[in-house]
């Protein structure tokens, strides 16, 4: 299942989950409205259906309501429940979505704890097109 696999006579687009042939869905978890907007627009520009929540607790609640996402973009520093706690809880709940940490943090111990909580990938803010493509390739390979 490589990047060039043919599905229905065409190449799998980065915005499609090769396992289901459905559009990739994403959840943006960030308390900063500017970051939420930037990340959502970047995802939308790639044809990825997405929604946003403002903290880790809301991310947990969305999953309890039955929503499932292919990708979760998780901020580290948020009120109510931070990204480390939320990632750990989502994994305990059995959530298998690709979780990519996106943070302005550069301290190794914070990043290490974040990764150990269950991240599949980590990128420093700002999230760019190139970084998002890298994350999407991880979804394609892990599916």
Taken in order of first residue, the domains within the chain and their CATH numbers are 25-140 (3.40.50.2300)
Q: Is residue 85 helix, strand or coil?
A: helix
Tell me the average pLDDT across 10-32.
70
Judged by DSSP in three states, 49 sits in strand
Q: Distances in Å between the alpha carbon of 36 and those of 12, 33, 54, 73, 105?
A: 27, 5, 8, 10, 17
CA-to-CA dists, residue 38 to 32, 35, 43, 126, 141, angstroms = 10, 5, 9, 9, 25
Residue predicted with more confidence, 139 or 45: 45
The one-character DSSP state at 12 is P
Residue range 3-14, pLDDT digits in tens: 333 333 333 345
Which residues touch 8 (CB under 8 Å, ≥6 apart)? 21
pLDDT tens for residues 97-119?
999 999 886 667 788 899 999 99
Supply the pTM of this predicted model: 0.83
Residues in the chain: 143
Please report, rounded to a whole number, the percentage of residues in the chain having pLDDT higher than 70. Answer: 80
Distance CA 56, CA 7 (A): 35
Give the Å distances, CA to CA, from 55 to 50, 51, 71, 135.
16, 13, 16, 21
């Amino acid at each position: 299942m490589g990047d060039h696999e043919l599905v229905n006579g065409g190449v799998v687009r980065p915005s499609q989950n090769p396992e289901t042939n459905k559009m990739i869905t994403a959840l943006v978890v960030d308390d900063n409205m500017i970051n939420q907007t930037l990340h959502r627009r970047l995802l939308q520009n790639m044809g990825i259906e997405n929604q946003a929540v403002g903290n880790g607790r809301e991310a947990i609640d969305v999953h309890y309501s039955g929503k499932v996402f292919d990708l979760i973009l998780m901020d580290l520093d948020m009120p109510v429940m931070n990204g480390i706690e939320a990632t750990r809880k989502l994994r305990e709940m059995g959530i298998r979505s690709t979780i990519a940490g996106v943070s302005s943090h550069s301290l190794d111990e914070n990043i290490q704890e974040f990764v150990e909580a269950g991240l599949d990938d980590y990128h420093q803010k700002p999230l760019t097109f190139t970084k998002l493509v890298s994350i999407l390739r991880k979804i394609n390979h892990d599916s």
